[in-house]
Amino acid sequence: MKRWVALLAVVAMGVLAGCGGQSQKPAASSQPASGSQQQPAAQGGGEKVIKIGLIAPLTGDVKTFGESTKNGFLLALEQAGFKAGDYKIEYTIADDRNDATEGVNIATKMITQDKVKAIVGSVTSKVTIPVSEIANQNKVVLVTGTATNPKVTVGEDGKRKPFAFRACFIDPFQGTVGARFALDNLKVKTAAIIYDKGNDYTVGLAQFFKEAFEKGGGKVVAEETYTEKDTDFSAILTKVAQAKPEMLYLPDYYQKVSLIGKQAKEKGLNVPMMGGDGWDSAELDYQALAGGYFTNHYSSDDPREEVQKFVKDYQGKYGSKPDALAALAYDATNILLEGIRRANSDDTEKIREAIQGLKDFGTVSGKVTFDQNGNPIKPAVILQVQPDKTQKYIATVNP
């Protein structure tokens, strides 16, 4: 992985000049370039300034994730008055299109040209894993809101990436929670798993669900894979139907899950479906997935005061209820701001140490204390998809 990332970094350095999606307007401009946005620079006066970046998929197959992430990031900065400690916060935003090479290009540019001290993002694990390598190698603090694969904060060699953190729980916990819910609440004993064999997120969730499901007494009777570009799943669904599972586990993002769910019902597979936090999007096919369940990081129906204040503020600014992507970006940004505030320095080693030392730090998705690998210890919620395009809160599951 490291050699691959290093190669991507070299490629990135060579193509930055032609990387139209990340080109930025001069700092003094208030008009964002296509695919990027940069805050006007501080105007003299000796003011202390620290630059941070946001990397998110604002276009591409999971663009709703990126839009929500950008909204949560900007709301947190606005509420902080674009300040942390004695430092004014300047930011730049860029679109990775949910492409790992593009993510590395952007991270390299932010670090070497924009001179950012910290990055919030990216969103998906397949982009954030190589981005976290670049950030860690350059001692730039990275806090992702939503990348759940363990390899975001721990390298292939098993060593901790000390500058990488996340605001979300990780896939081993999410897969285990899904398996326990299937066994204890859905009362099923057999399951089929269908996943993208080229995506770290789906591979990881499939693996952790299977391990926990079979450890709990269940049996996975069918396990089928596909590739990112596939849109016709009739062949693998025919195999799955022949195995007669009592449920389907679909650990992918909303677009692919919507296609599979619809085609499964057309095949007569009318069994409960379940997945992970990748289902959380307004563009999920709510009719095809109606009645299905997914694990997630927060519910807008949570009555806690901090949750309801966030929901109210977000709705007031953007006119819609925040999804988990928005909540976690908001949390990740506030975690970073708190680290800068406590360090009261632009020294990234001091910021990293301050974040690692947070104890029961209040966020929308729960109180955060980091473990030795930069992962927050926090609960998960189970939500059920409703045909009226809403999500019903079912349960909270603690670690």
Whose structure tokens read 């949750």?
A: 307
Identify whether the C-beta of residue 386 lies closer than 8 Å to the C-beta of residue 290. yes
The pTM for the full model equals 0.80
Identify whether the C-beta of residue 251 lies closer than 8 Å to the C-beta of residue 260. no
Identify whether the C-beta of residue 164 lies closer than 8 Å to the C-beta of residue 142. yes
Phi first, then psi, for residue 149 (nearest 5°) are -70, 135
Spatial neighbors of 376 by CB under 8 A, at least 6 apart, are 166, 167, 168, 169, 366, 368, 369, 370
* Distance between CA atoms of residues 286 and 387, nearest Å: 5
* Distance between CA atoms of residues 132 and 144, nearest Å: 9
Identify whether the C-beta of residue 363 lies closer than 8 Å to the C-beta of residue 167. yes
Residue pLDDT tens, the chain, 399 long: 333 334 444 334 333 333 333 333 333 333 333 346 666 555 556 789 999 999 999 999 999 999 999 999 999 999 999 999 999 999 999 999 999 999 999 999 999 999 999 999 999 999 999 999 999 999 999 999 999 999 999 999 999 999 999 999 898 999 999 999 999 999 999 999 999 999 988 999 999 999 999 999 999 999 999 999 999 999 999 999 999 999 999 999 999 999 999 999 999 999 999 999 999 998 999 999 999 999 999 899 888 899 999 999 999 999 999 999 999 999 999 999 999 999 999 999 999 999 999 999 999 998 899 999 999 988 889 999 999 999 999 988 877
Identify whether the C-beta of residue 211 lies closer than 8 Å to the C-beta of residue 154. no
Residue type, 43: Q
Q: Compute, in degrees rounded to 10, the torsion defined by CA atoms 145, 195, 398, 160.
A: -50
Structure tokens, 181: 């819910």
In degrees, rounded to 5, the angle at the alpha carbon of residue 52 between the alpha carbons of residues 50 and 53 is: 160
